[in-house]
Amino acid sequence: MILSQFQTVGRDLFARGVVSSHAGNLSIRLGEHLIITRRSSMLNCLEEPDLIETGITRNNRVTPLTAIDLPIHRAIYQQTNALAIVHAHPPHAVALSLTESTIVPDNIQGISEVGAVPVVGWNRESRPGDLADIIAQALKQHHIVMVRGHGSFVIGQLLEEAYNYTTALEETCQILCLAKSIQPGAPRNPR
C-alpha cells in the first residue's frame, strides 16, 4: 500500500515534468519514523528498495542511503503537523523564484488553493539541508515554500494532497509566466 502511493505520485510528478530522472524526493511520517525515497532514486519507477525508513530525530544503519534533503524533511516533521512531503523542481515555479520573493496567484480561477508562496534562500548560496529550519518555519503558515532557484517543498496529510498542491503551484506559475510574456495593452477583439 505505501509503495503504491509513492509509485503513483512519483510517476505522476515525472510525467507532469516537475522532476527530472533522478531529482526530487518524497516522504511520509509514521509516528517517530519517516519513510523517504532513496538518494538519487528515480521517482518515475520506484521499487521497494527505493523507500528508506529512518528516525525523525535519530539515525539508523540505513540513514546514509536517504535522499540528500533528509535534514529538511526531518525539520518539517519536527516543526509542523505534516504527514507527507513532496519536494519537486517545477520549472515555471523555479523561474519565478529567481525574480519574486513571494509567488502570488493573483485570482487565477480554479487555483486559489495555492495561496501566496514564500520564496526563501535569497542572498545565500544554498547547500543540501542548509535551509531546513527556514523552510520548516515557512511551512507553519503555508502548504508550499519555494527555495530560490531550486524547487518546492510541499506538505500535506497525504502524499496525494502534497502532489495536488505541487501540480497546482506549477500550473499557477505557468499561467503567471505566460501572462508576464504578453505585452500589456488594450483587450483585442478578434473578428
The domain limits of the chain are 2-180
| CA–CA distance, 131 with 150 (Å, rounded to integer) | 12
Stretch among 77-81, 115-119, 120-124 having the lowest mean pLDDT:
120-124
129: number of Cβ within 10 Å:
15
Would you identify the CATH topology of the domain 2-180?
L-fuculose-1-phosphate Aldolase (3.40.225)
Q: How confident is the model at residue 184 (pLDDT cuts 50, 70, 90)?
A: low
Helices (H), the chain: 2-15, 70-79, 91-97, 132-138, 159-181
Element (H, E) at 87: strand 84-88
**Which triple of cell numbers denotes residue 22?**
533522478
Q: How confident is the model at residue 174 (pLDDT cuts 50, 70, 90)?
A: very high
Instruction: Report the predicted TM-score, pTM, of the whole model to 2 decimal places.
Output: 0.91
Nearest Cα neighbor of 170 from 86, 92, 99 is 92
Q: Strand, coil or helix: what is 147? A: strand
b/e per residue, 153-181, with b = 16+ CB within 10 A? bbbbeebebbbbbbbbbbbbbbbbeeeee
Give pLDDT, residue 38.
95
Pairing of strands 84-88, 151-156: antiparallel
Write the pLDDT tens digit of every residue in 52-74.
999 999 999 999 999 999 999 99
Give pLDDT, residue 20.
93
Residues 150 and 94: beta-carbon distance below 8 Å: yes
AA identity, residue 12? D
| Residue 130, pLDDT above cutoff 90 | no
